[in-house]
Structure 1
C-alpha cells in the first residue's frame, strides 16, 4: 500500500469567500485547488470478489488517512486508459476526504487477459457491470478492504468518469439505453447521488430515444475546446458533442466547465501520458487545466455529498466564478 503524505503540495489558492459580504467586495477565490488536509492511502490492485464464471476484477482504491466515514466516488476510466493516470484528480479528492474506487475495465492496458471479439461487442455492458460489482463488493457483508473496512458512508456516493467512462457515468446516473431485443428503453441507474462527466458523449445508436431528456441533476460536465469526439468511425464531432450531458439535458442542477484550448488528455495528465498536446503524443502537460478541474470537481462533491455551505455558495453564482480562471475556462449552469 502506498501512502501519500498530507503535505505533498503546498497550498496555492485559498477557499471560496466565507460570507456573502466578502464575495460582494472581493473577486471570487478558487475552491480547494491545493492538496487537502489528509494523507492518502492507495491500494493499487484490490481484487474484488467474483461469482463463478465472472472475470477477476481489480480496483485502485484511494482513501484519506483519517477516521471517516468517507463519501464514496466510483470512477470509470477512459477507453484504453490507465487507472493511475487519473491520480491527479482522484487522489486530490481523497486528500479532501473521499474514498475513490477505480475499477479496472477489460480495455485497461494493465488488465489481465485479452478481450475476445464478444467482449469487445459487449464492452459497454461489461463496464456497467463492473461498476455494479464495485458496489456489490463494498456493500457485501464480511468484505474486508484493509484500512477501509467500515469507513465508507454508503449513503453518500457519486459516479464519475472520463471519455468512455464518462458515457458509463451518464448511463449509470440515469441516461437510458435501447433494449437489445425490443424497442423499449432500459435504465441502468444505480442510485448514486451525483455525477461528474468528463469528456462524455453525445447521441449514439445505443441510446434510447429522448435519453438526454431523462438525465437528472446534479451533474457536472467538463470538456475542452480541443476535445473533439470520435467513436471509432470516420465522423469527427465538435467539442460541444462531448458536453451533451449538459447541453442536451433539461435544466436543474446542471453545471459545465469548458477549458479553452483544453484537449482530451490534458496534455497527458489524464488517461495516458503519451497522448494530448499539440501533436497528440503527450508531454505538454496542462497543469492549469488540471488545477481548475480539481478545484471545481471537489467543490461539486462537497456541495452534493457533504452539503457544504461554502461549496453550495460556489455553485449559486457558478458562471461568475469563472473569473478565477483568468479566462482559461467557461462556467455555465442551468
Structure 2
C-alpha cells in the first residue's frame, strides 16, 4: 500500500520503510592522532542488530550552539540513519564550539577546513579500531560501502571528500582531499560557489570558500537545499547558492529542494534546538527518510528505496519538496 499524499511525513516514512529499528549509540571513541592538538573523538550509532552495515561519516556544521557542533549533535539524522541500517560515525572536528577557547590560537582556527576533511579519512583508516572499541560492533561493518554527509560547513567538508577542490588561501595551491574509499554522499545546506558572489559580511572570514571548484566532484551526490535558506551573510544571490554543488558538478547528481526550509532544514542539528529558525518535525523526517533512501540505493542496500521515498514524499497535494536529477 502506498502512502497517502496527505499523510504526515513521519507516518509516510514508516509506511515506506517500516517501523524504526532499535539503535545503539556509543561515545566517545577516542583516537590519538599525532600532530592534532587534541584527540579525535567520535560517536558511533548503529542498529542493534545486523551485519554488513554500510558506514556514513557525518560532519557537523559550525553552528551557533555549543554541543550541537560536535559528536553530540544531529541526533535527528544520526538516529534515523542508524535505524535504517547504517553505521553512523560523527567526529568532533577542531572547529567545534566545544573546543573554541582551547584552540583559539591554533593554526587553522576557527574553521579548520583542511583538518575537518582529514578527520574523516583518519576515521576510515581506523574503522577496525573503532569497531573493536564499540561493544558488539566488531565484524559488523562493511568497509567497502562508505558514504559521507555534512551540513553547512560540514557540507563543504563532505564536498572536498567527494572530489571538489579548493585553493589554499595561504599558499595559493590547489587542494585535493578526495578519498576514493567514499562512494557517495549527501550535502545538506552546503556552501555554493566562491568568487565575486561571496560579497556578504562573512566572505572575508572564509577565504577557503572562494576557490571552491565543483567540476571535479564526480562521485554520485545528493544535494539538499532549502528554498528559504537565504545566506545573506555570505552572498546576495539567495537560496539558489546552496544548489550550486548540483548545478556546477558533473553527473550523476541529484538535487532535493526542500519547500519552506531555512538553513537548519527544519531542525536537523538537534531535537528542539533553539538555533532552528524553521522548526518542523515533519520536514526533518522528510530529509531523514529521503537521504536514507538515497544512500540505501547508492550503496546497494535496496535498489528501490530511492524511488519509493520520492513517490511517498515528493508527490501528491502536499509534497515535502521537489527532486531533479542529471
Any idea what the Cα deviations from partners look like across 1:49-87, whole Å, max 9, x if unmatched?
323655211111101111312100000000034343311
Aligned 8 A contact 2:22 2:48 in 1: yes
Residue 193 of structure 1: which of 177, 183, 207 is its match? Answer: 183
Residue 329 of structure 1: which of 318, 321, 325 is its match? Answer: 321
Summarize the Cα distance change of 1:75–1:274 in structure 2 as closer, same or farther, 3 Å threshold.
Answer: same
Say what the alpha-carbon RMSD is for the aligned residues. Answer: 2.9
SS at match of 1:74: strand
SS at match of 1:150: coil
Question: 1:43 maps to what in 2?
Answer: 26
Any idea what the Cα deviations from partners look like across 1:233-278, whole Å, max 9, x if unmatched?
6x4441111111112223x22111112211112344425812132x
Question: 1:260 maps to what in 2?
Answer: 259
Question: 2:216 maps to what in 1?
Answer: 214
Query: Within 1, Cα distance between the matches of 2:208 and 2:108?
Result: 16
Aligned 8 A contact 1:137 1:143 in 2: no
Q: What is the total number of aligned residue pairs between the two structures?
A: 297
Unmatched runs of 5 consecutive residues or more in structure 2: 1-9, 195-206
TM-score of the superposition, structure 1-length normalised?
Answer: 0.78
Summarize the Cα distance change of 1:64–1:181 in structure 2 as closer, same or farther, 3 Å threshold.
Answer: same
Q: What does 1:1-334 align with in structure 2 at a 5 Å threshold?
A: 12-13=11-12, 31-32=16-17, 35-36=19-20, 38-51=21-34, 54-80=37-63, 81-82=68-69, 83-111=71-99, 114-117=102-105, 118-120=107-109, 123-139=112-128, 144-179=133-168, 184-191=173-180, 192-204=182-194, 205-206=207-208, 211-229=213-231, 235-250=235-250, 252-270=251-269, 273-277=273-277, 285-311=279-305, 313-314=307-308, 322-323=314-315, 326-334=318-326
Aligned 8 A contact 2:148 2:184 in 1: yes
Summarize the Cα distance change of 1:110–1:126 in structure 2 as closer, same or farther, 3 Å threshold.
Answer: same
Deviation at 1:13, TM superposition (A): 2.6
Summarize the Cα distance change of 1:111–1:324 in structure 2 as closer, same or farther, 3 Å threshold.
Answer: farther
Deviation at 1:184, TM superposition (A): 4.9
Aligned 8 A contact 1:69 1:152 in 2: yes
Query: Within 2, Cα distance between the matches of 1:169 and 1:273?
Result: 23
TM-score of the superposition, structure 2-length normalised?
Answer: 0.80
Greater relative contact order (CA < 8 Å, ≥ 6 in sequence)? 2
Summarize the Cα distance change of 1:54–1:132 in structure 2 as closer, same or farther, 3 Å threshold.
Answer: farther
Query: Within 2, Cα distance between the matches of 1:79 and 1:210?
Result: 18
Question: 2:203 maps to what in 1?
Answer: none
SS at match of 2:98: coil
Question: 2:201 maps to what in 1?
Answer: none
SS at match of 1:93: helix
Aligned 8 A contact 1:47 1:57 in 2: yes
Query: Within 2, Cα distance between the matches of 1:141 and 1:63?
Result: 12
Query: Within 1, Cα distance between the matches of 2:283 and 2:317?
Result: 9
Deviation at 1:311, TM superposition (A): 2.1
Deviation at 1:223, TM superposition (A): 1.6
